[in-house]
Amino acid sequence: MQIVQQLLFVAALGLTSWLISKRIGIIKKTIQLSKAVNRTDRPAERLSTMLRVAFAQKKMFDRPLVGLMHFVIYAGFLLINVEVLEIVLDGVLGTHRLFAPLLGDFYPILINFFEFLAVGVLTVCVIFLIRRNITKVERLQPTRHRELNGWPVLDANTILGIEIVLMLAILSMNAADSLLQERGVEHYPLVGGFFFSGFLQPIFKNLSDGALVAVERIAWWAHILGIFGFALYVTYSKHLHIFLAFPNTYFTNLTPKGEMLNMPDITKEVKIMLGLEQPDANEVPAEIGRFGAKDVADLSWKNLMDAYSCTECGRCTSACPANITGKKLSPRKIMMDTRDRLEDVGKNMLANGGEFKDDGKSLLGDYISEEEILACTTCNACVQECPVLINPLEIILQLRRYKIMDEAQAPGSWNAMFNNLETNQAPWKFSPDDRFNWADNLKS
């Protein structure tokens, strides 16, 4: 019987690993469709940023209570995986509580600590479910934010439900295990009592040894298969940020938030026209590609990693002045639409042997509307608020650059401003020489 369990476990582990690697491969290929951008400068500062923002959750604590609850889930996820490692090794080797002899008296202390984390995670998940579905936090409501309708709401509730089930499985497994230890049942060595799961023992106390073993095994399998399923599920979910938050914060843009990136080739041409730079007679003129971005392949790989890293928390949208005043723009929707486009591109590549075939769609137009990108004030509030340093503004600016420079479609008032900037070096329609005329009649 034991060898059968081992074989089933190895098969489940192998299948999960294969499915996850296949999914990661598709995500990697969609990101590789993008444009290159160099984010290897200032490595020490990048590492510091990653440790502060991703590892220490610094920006989450801008809202202390929510930050603390999120940190409980985050810490529980990281540390409980030590117990998962033991379960995986037990499954492969056919052992039970493999680390107990190695850790001695410290082992029950460690398991009690994991149970404390499990109870904390379970409690916070229940609170988050209440916040989403009963108290109805405004930024998380699909009635107010159309991008949350359908799958995003189901996804958020599903992941919280899965985490609750996983924590209950741990506690049930430990409760049944403790009773089997006390009865001296074979394969269940005495390793010490567990505090929190002890409160569940009365539920199982009157069961026979065989029934108790069945409860322990069912809970054990439910927990580890749940972990495998969770690991695969998050690659399709907004919770992919659990893994991508670390590289995403490391490769963040370290330049000041108000600095907009110019197109180098265009900048060079303008400098030559103004006499600020001399053309190189031996240099072959660069072929100017598309201005800005129409589809995901025109964006940088960091923009696409941002999309996969989005937590859908809505902090960006709740701070966006355009959204607050009723405009259609939602920075969260920009990121979700970009990810939706990447998902469709990934399906296209799967159906075509790993190569993308034109499907007649584009990010701008089919997913994100012109009205949305024109509503942006470029205030950087969304960038400032994001807990994992995502930059929706870069995507908005690239889409807007395409619409104006490539398709020559801009609002009339914008064109007037552009002309004034070109001719008068200011947004206003009067000569630079007259700029201070308003001060002539001021009393000294």
Give the Cα-Cα-Cα angle 73, 79, 80 (nearest 5 degrees).
80
Q: Does the structural domain 291-409 have CATH classification 1.10.1760?
A: no
- Position 170 confidence tier, pLDDT thresholds 50, 70, 90: very high
Tokens 């379970």 identify what position?
Answer: 122
Kindly state the tokens that stand for 186: 């074979």
Query: Under a CB-based contact definition with an 8 Å cutoff, are residues 179 and 212 in contact?
Result: yes
Would the CA dihedral through 165, 166, 167, 169 be positive or negative?
Answer: positive
**What pLDDT was estimated at residue 441?**
76
Q: Contact, 280 vs 115, CB < 8 A?
A: no
Residue closest to 376 by CA, chosen among 395, 402, 404, 352: 395
- Please report the pLDDT score of residue 25 as a whole number: 93
Joined together, the tokens standing for residue 115 give 């149970």
For residue 49, what pLDDT is reported? 96
Q: Enumerate long-range contacts of 121-127, CB under 8 Å, 24 or more apart.
A: 121/72, 121/73, 121/76, 121/77, 121/80, 121/163, 121/167, 122/163, 122/164, 122/167, 122/168, 123/72, 124/69, 124/70, 124/72, 124/73, 125/73, 125/160, 125/161, 125/163, 125/164, 125/167, 126/164, 127/69
- State the pLDDT confidence band at 268, using cuts at 50, 70 and 90: confident
- pLDDT computed for residue 392 by the predictor: 96
Q: For 2-25, b where at least 16 C-beta lie within 10 A, e where not — what string?
A: eeeebeebeebeeebeeeeeebee
**Predicted confidence band at 363 (pLDDT cuts at 50, 70, 90)?**
very high
One-letter amino acid of 383: V
Whether the pLDDT of residue 42 is over 80: the answer is yes
Residue range 374-401: mean pLDDT, rounded: 94
Yes or no: say if 145 and 332 are a contact pair by the CB < 8 Å rule: yes
Average pLDDT of the segment spanning 146-174: 93
Give domain limits for the chain.
Answer: 2-250, 291-409
Q: How far out from the chain centre does Cα 306 lie?
A: 7
278-315 pLDDT per residue, tens: 877 676 665 666 788 999 999 999 999 999 999 999 99
pLDDT tens string 392-430: 999 999 999 999 988 888 888 888 888 888 888 788 887
Q: Running DSSP on this structure, what letter comes out for residue 300?
A: B
Amino acid at 394: E
